[in-house]
Structure 1
Amino acid sequence: MDYAFSSSETELRSDLRELIGESMPADYPGIFVEDFDEPLAASWAFCRKLGAQNLLTRAWPRQYGGDDASVWSQVVFNEEMWAHNEPRGGQYMGVTWIGPALITFGNEAQREQHLPGIASGDVQWCQGFSEPDAGSDLASLTTRATKVEGGFRVDGQKVWTSYASHAQYCVLAARTSVLERKQDGLTVFLVPMDREGITVRRIPTMLGPNHFHEVFFDDVFVEDAEVLGTVDHGWEIMTAGLAFERVGIPRYARADRILAEAREATQGGSPAASPDLAAAMVHVLVARLLNYRNYDGRVRGEETPAGGPIARIASTLVEQEVADVAMDMAGVAALTPDAPGMHPALGHLEHHWRYAQAATVAAGALEIQKMLVGRRLLSPRRG
């Protein structure tokens, strides 16, 4: 297979790097650090700039504010975003899967209401799926939406909800019926986060105090018009969304950049000086090619059943491997990045290491991904 990018895709990559360099602070750490007000403001401003240039949702259909960009063009876009600590912040979620879900499952009124705000970079979404007793097994969720006149009353709790503290909307999964198969009877709602009865609390973790949240729904009224798709048939939307999210994050791109920066900071960019570094560089390339094979299958309409989970497993594992190798290369310097004469590339290395620890849990635990691979290889029809 020839994975050489076209001249237009190469030009896009160059333009994006220039735009990021012009728009973002040189030491931008991502939005999950302890003091996140300035990084968050920079991220919002950058997203609005992308929206104004029709770059944020360029892979969407033109009729919905996109540019019908190719899959490979979107790969380039996603790689550059993640390689540079995701300057879009949480906007990748609206762009990568909530927008496409609205296009696929929403009605015209919902598309008109929500798609422009995502395309312009003005509206942040969060995802209300996981619960204290329903993480990897999402079909076991117990947040309840009870039918009332004109809509539903929602009661329950969500947990590990990224971006909830500054999101304007939540794509919420709740149980509307108890049926024989637990995947049935679930419904997806589009809920404003300022709705009465919603409480958001931060969950401080080693990843930083602003990453995870728990969200409580106490007798929250949700209108009939805020149902996405069909009542009791939300599982299809949830699985489609998770598939977009799991495959749409090119973690290998950030791992590649971290390795390059660590090599520059500790050995002047010279060739691999240890077997661990050489192995990590190879594994980054393997993860990239596994993802490219999956994208190529999507373009050709020949996706293999296990291609997505296999690529995700490789990407999450290599992110953790690279974080370990880079920390070993930097040594104690990674813990004192502000010391006089310290290389700027080491400034956020320790934060990257902490962030990488969640890679094999977020958006579907590693064990679940392995189970999906086994099921799809042994019995492709089961999915």
Structure 2
Amino acid sequence: MTVDFRMGPDAAGLRDDLRQLVADEVPPDFLGAFTDDPADLEIAQRFCRTLAERGLLCLAWPEEFGGAGASVWEQTVVREEMWAHHEPRGAQYMGVNWVGPTIMRHGTEEQQRRHLPPIARGEVIWCQGFSEPDAGSDLASLRTSARRDGDGWLVSGQKIWTSYASMAQWCFLLARTSRGEKKQQGLTIFLVPMSAPGIEVRPIRSILGPHHLNEVFFDDVRVTEADVLGTVGDGWRVVQEVLAFERVGIARYARCERLLLAAPEVLGDQWERLPEQLRAGWSRMLVHCRRARLLAYRVLAVQSTGRVRPGDAAAYRIAVTRLDQDSAAVLTEIATCAVADDDRTRRFRRAVEDHWRYTNASTVASGSIEMQRILLARSLMAAS
């Protein structure tokens, strides 16, 4: 497949518009929505509504679902600019990038009418009920169960590492409804309101700050047939699509590149006095940014045709995870050399520290890097 990496004639203008919008609406010291300061979440929620009002939040969604029918490349510009500026959409990327598209592909008309408009308006936060204490990378070993009870199910079990669960209104939940010969069989996806009786959220404090990580307990939570996404027992097939979309849905290379390009400007005359080895590492990281970007574009080009190839998503995930951690090491060393005591330098050091904190979780988020390597290897063996 030939991919046009120029992204079309409107991409540059869209990128400029988004950068100006961020400059106008988001404070320069904003480092994400999920901090100890509740004002940061409100900034993100307000910015989401602004994007939605301008038709930019779900740009590539079909118009009938609240989008603008734009190309996947225009949506990619949005992803890149949002992540580069510390994701001022807050947790909305989850609904926009994969919850909404998955409901479009597998949901009933009633589910689409109920869930897609609030996502497109930036009014709802979703969380993902996948990982469990004994089922992280080996997700198919999960134990959370949904047992039949009249015309519905009762869900019991525990989820862990659930980002944004303390503020989410809905959970995209994977539970076991039966047992088959393989552990991947008998899994079902439920769209569960977090306000349902029997759900308890316990925050997990970490270096990432509040709200990122939580435990969620389900104690005979009642769900109905209308809450089932897709076919009962066929959840694993849908999850494979979800994870492929999720793994390219965050343009993590964009933040790395923005911080790397900011470094010489922040250091000014100090830049030329940095050790040659450190500046060589900086150059190497920029090359790796471009490599990760091109891998992401390759996956997106395939997905835009309606196909999902988990092996390609795994290759991108491996590259961008290594980029995250290697660039954090280089940037941290550069930041220690930035001795000026002005606002710009202080913001740069704080942004680099925030980047470093995030990268500590990046090798396990959305599936560990070891599992990505196994998935890629299996894909290559199947193709040979």
Bucket of the pairwise TM-score, normalised by the shorter protein: over 0.9
Range moving further from structure 2, 275-284 or 243-252: 275-284
Q: Identify which of 362, 366, 375 aligns with 2:365.
A: 362
- Distance in 2 separating the partners of 1:31 and 1:289: 28
Name the SS of the counterpart of 2:159 in structure 1.
strand
Distance 2:165 2:342 in 1: 35
Q: Does 1:278 align with 2:287?
A: no
User: How many angstroms does 1:269 deviate by?
Assistant: 9.4
1:190-218, Cα deviation, whole Å (9 max, x unpaired): 11101111000110112223210000001
Q: Pick from 362, 373, 376 the counterpart of residue 376 of structure 2.
A: 373
Root mean square deviation of aligned Cα:
2.2
Partner AA of 1:30 in structure 2: G
Equivalences for residues 105-116 of structure 1 within 5 A: 105-116=106-117
Structure 1 segments unaligned to the other structure (5+ residues): none
- 2:203 corresponds to which residue? 202
Q: Are 1:293 and 2:293 counterparts?
A: no
* Paired position in structure 2 for 1:29: 31
Q: Structure 1's 189 and 341: CA in aligned 2 closer, same or farther, altered over 3 A? A: closer
> Could you tell me the percent identity over the aligned residues?
48
SS in 1 for 2:213: strand
The CA deviation at 1:303 is 7.5
Please report how far the alpha carbon of residue 300 of structure 1 lies from its aligned counterpart in structure 2 after TM superposition.
Answer: 6.2
Question: What CA deviation, in whole Å up to 9, does each residue of 1:63-100 have, x standing for no partner?
Answer: 21112211111111110011011111110000111101
Deviation of 1:270 after TM superposition, in Å, equals: 5.8
Match of 2:17 among 15, 18, 22: 15
Change (3 A) 1:245 1:305: closer
Mapped to 1, the partners of 2:289 and 2:148 lie a distance apart of: 49
Contact 1:154–1:219, Cα closer than 8 Å, also in 2: yes
2:354 aligns with 351
How far apart, in 1, do the equivalents of 2:197 and 2:308 lie?
43
Contact kept? 1:124, 1:169, Cα under 8 Å: yes
Work out the CA distance in 2 between the residues paired with 1:246 and 1:6.
24
| Whole-Å separation in 2 of the counterparts to 1:155 and 1:304 | 32
Q: After superposing the two structures, state which structure 1 stretch, 311-320 or 192-201, moved more.
A: 311-320
Secondary structure of the 2:166 match is helix
Partner of 1:317: 322
Q: How does 1:109-258 map to 2 (within 5 A)?
A: 109-258=110-259
The answer to whether the 8 A contact 1:177-1:232 is kept is: yes
Which deviations, in whole Å up to 9, do the C-alpha atoms of 1:97-146 show, x marking residues without a partner? Answer: 11011111110111111111100000100000100000111111000101
On the 8 A contact 1:170/1:192 being kept in 2, the answer is yes
State the partner residue of 1:103: 104
CA deviations over 1:203-250 (Å, ceiling 9, x no partner): 011222321000000111111211111111111121111111001111
Deviates more, 1:134-143 or 1:350-359: 350-359
AA paired with 2:299? N
Q: Residue 82 of structure 1 corresponds to which residue in structure 2?
A: 83
Q: Given the two structures, how large is their TM-score scaled by the length of structure 1?
A: 0.93
- State the alpha-carbon separation in 2 of the partners of residues 28 and 243 from structure 1: 29
How far is the alpha carbon of 1:264 from its aligned partner?
2.0
Q: State the 1:359 CA deviation.
A: 1.4
Structure 2 residue runs of 5 or longer lacking an equivalent are: none
Residues paired across the two proteins, number: 378
Q: Would the aligned equivalents of 1:265 and 1:343 in 2 still touch at CA under 8 Å?
A: no
Look up the SS of the partner of 1:166 in the other structure: coil
How far apart, CA to CA, are the structure 1 residues paired with 2:144 and 2:32? 31
What amino acid is the match of 2:351? H
CA distance in 2, matches of 1:225, 1:299: 29
Q: 1:307 offset after TM fit, Å?
A: 2.2
The CA distance in 2 between the partners of 1:268 and 1:51, in whole Å, is 42
CA distance in structure 2 between the aligned counterparts of 1:268 and 1:301, rounded to whole angstroms: 50
TM-score, L = length of structure 2: 0.93
CA distance in 2, matches of 1:75, 1:109: 29
